[in-house]
Amino acid sequence: MDSVSQFVLGSTVATVLLGPKLGFRAVLLGGAVATLPDLDSFLPFDDALNSVTYHRGFSHSLFVQTAVSPFIAAFATFIFKKRLIPYLKMLLTVWLCLITHSLLDSLTTYGTQIFWPLDVGSPVAFPSVFIIDPIYTLTLLIGVIGFLFLIRKRQAQAMRLVQVCLAASTFYLCLGMGGHLYVKSKAAQHPQLTGKRIHVQPTPFNILYWQILAVDDTNYYAGATSVLRGCKEIDLKTYPRLTLPTELTSPEVPKSVKRFEWFTNGFFTYQNSKQGLKISDLRIGFAPFYPFSYIFGKVTSAGFIALPPTRFQGPKRDLSSLSALYKLASNTPKGCW
C-alpha cells in the first residue's frame, strides 16, 4: 500500500494498544515503526530490475520483523520510560505495527516476500485492495484524527472511535478478499479461460470493479468485471504473449531478467520493440499499457547483445489513454460475469 496508508495503519494499531498512556505520541510511534519496512526503497541497485524485485524483500519478512521487534521495543520503552509502558506490551505493539505493514502489502498486486529467506515461491500477492484505496485510508485517518481531537477531554470516546475505525477498515479488507475469491471463481468458469493461469485484482481506488488477467504459452487475456449482481458476460481481449526465445538462454541474459519472471509469478511477456528486447509485468497496468517494462538487450543478425536493464520508455500517454481502464470498468454493470 501507499506510505500514507501504512503510516495511519501503524498509528491506529499503536493507538489502540498504547493510546491511553501515550496520547498523540502513540500515533507518532506507530506511524514511524510502520514506515520502517519501506526504507528498503532507498537501497542502491545498479540494475533497474533488481530495484523492483528486491523491494518488499527482507525488510518485509515476518521472520526478520519478529527478530528485530525486541530491539525496537527496548529502544521505545527507554524513550517512553516516564510513561511506564510495560516492555511486553511495547513489544506486542511494535511487532504488530511491523507485520501488519507486510500483511497489508501482501493484499496488493505487487507481491511481498513475507517468508524471506525461505524459498517458497514467488512473492505473496492476494490482490484484494488497490495500492491506493481512499475508502480504506480515510477510514483509518478519521479514527486517528478523531482520537487526537478527543483524547484530552473524552478519552473513552477517543479510544472507541479509533477501535471502530480499525474494525471497519479490517472489514473492508475482508470484503476485498471475498471479492477476489468471487471474481477468480467466476473467471475460472469462463470458457475462454479454462485451464489457464488467472490473476484478478481491483481496478484503481475501489473493490467493486476488477481486472482479469490470464496467460497461457502463446497469449494473455485481459478484461474487467464487477462483483455487482445482474451482470451478463463480458468479452475478453486477447494479446500475443512471447516467452524468452530458446537461443537467448545464454549466460549473457542478465540474471535479473529471470528473477523478474519469478517476481511476476509467471504473468509476464517479452517483446522485441524498437528500443530492444523487453520484459513486462502484466499484472501492473492494463493492456496495452504496462509501466513495469524493461529493456535488457537487442537481437541483431550477429546474435543477442546484452544491455544494462533500463525502464522502457513508451509513448507519452494523454488523459484519453489513462481513462481507458475506467471506461472498461464503467461498462461492466451492463455486461459482466
Q: What is the pLDDT of residue 289?
A: 84
CA separation, residue 131 to residues 27, 60, 128, 142, 194 (Å): 22, 16, 10, 19, 29
Structural domain includes residue 91: yes
Q: What is the pLDDT of residue 87?
A: 96
Q: Decide if 102 contacts 108 (C-beta within 8 A).
A: no
CA end-to-end distance (rounded Å), the chain:
28
Answer yes or no: do 287 and 212 share one domain. yes
> pLDDT tens, 231-263?
655 668 999 998 776 555 556 778 899 999 999
Average pLDDT rounded to a whole number, residues 76-90 = 92
Q: Decide if 158 contacts 150 (C-beta within 8 A).
A: yes
What residues does 305 pair with on adjacent strands?
298
Answer yes or no: do 200 and 170 share one domain. no
Nearest alpha-carbon partner for 34 in 109, 113, 100: 100
> pLDDT tens, 163-220?
999 999 999 999 999 999 999 998 999 999 998 999 999 999 999 989 999 999 999 9
Structural domain includes residue 38: yes
Q: Is the pLDDT of residue 337 over 50?
A: no
Place of cell 513486462: 280
Answer yes or no: do 69 and 202 share one domain. no
Kindly write down the DSSP assignment for every residue of 108-143, as one continuous string: SSS-B-TTTTS--SSPB----S-SS-HHHHHHHHHH
Q: Which of 178, 205, 234 is the last residue of a domain?
A: 178
Answer yes or no: do 31 and 59 share one domain. yes
Q: What is the pLDDT of residue 236?
A: 85
Q: Which domain covers residue 275, as residue numbers?
A: 190-337
> pLDDT tens, 104-156?
999 999 999 999 999 999 999 999 999 999 999 999 999 999 999 999 899 99
| Alpha helices (H) along 120-218 | 134-150, 155-189
Structural domain includes residue 185: no
Structural domain includes residue 134: yes
Determine what percent of the chain is predicted with pLDDT higher than 70.
89
Task: Give the chain's domain count.
Answer: 2
Q: What is the pLDDT of residue 251?
A: 63
Structural domain includes residue 184: no
Cell of 253: 541474459
Answer yes or no: do 108 and 214 share one domain. no
Answer yes or no: do 127 and 220 share one domain. no
Answer yes or no: do 208 and 333 share one domain. yes
Structural domain includes residue 183: no
Place of cell 517468508: 115
CA distance 150 to 143: 10
Answer yes or no: do 113 and 219 share one domain. no
Q: Decide if 211 contacts 201 (C-beta within 8 A).
A: yes
CA distance 222 to 208: 17
Q: What is the pLDDT of residue 332?
A: 47
CA distance 49 to 215: 22
Helix (H, G, I), strand (E, B) or coil at 145: helix
Structural domain includes residue 156: yes
Average pLDDT rounded to a whole number, residues 300-304 = 77
Under the banding of pLDDT at 50, 70 and 90, the label for residue 84 is: confident
Q: Is the pLDDT of residue 94 over 60?
A: yes
Cell of 178: 471475498
Structural domain includes residue 236: yes
> In 3-state terms, the chain is what percent helix, strand and coil (to 5)?
50, 15, 35
Average pLDDT rounded to a whole number, residues 270-281 = 90
Answer yes or no: do 173 and 41 share one domain. yes
Q: Decide if 97 contacts 30 (C-beta within 8 A).
A: yes
- Exposure class string for 183-215: b at 16+ Cβ within 10 A, else e: bbebbeebeebeebebbbbbbeebbebbbbbbb
Under the banding of pLDDT at 50, 70 and 90, the label for residue 336 is: low
Place of cell 502513540: 26
Q: What is the pLDDT of residue 333?
A: 44
Answer yes or no: do 51 and 82 share one domain. yes
Q: What is the pLDDT of residue 35?
A: 98
Q: Which of 131, 154, 178 is the last residue of a domain?
A: 178
Q: Decide if 10 contacts 33 (C-beta within 8 A).
A: yes
Q: What is the pLDDT of residue 1?
A: 92
Q: Which of 130, 147, 178 is the last residue of a domain?
A: 178
> pLDDT tens, 3-57?
999 999 999 999 999 999 999 999 999 999 999 999 999 999 989 999 999 999 9
Answer yes or no: do 240 and 173 share one domain. no
Q: What is the pLDDT of residue 228?
A: 81
Q: Is 225 left (phi over 0), alpha (psi -120 to 50) or beta?
A: beta
Answer yes or no: do 102 and 224 share one domain. no
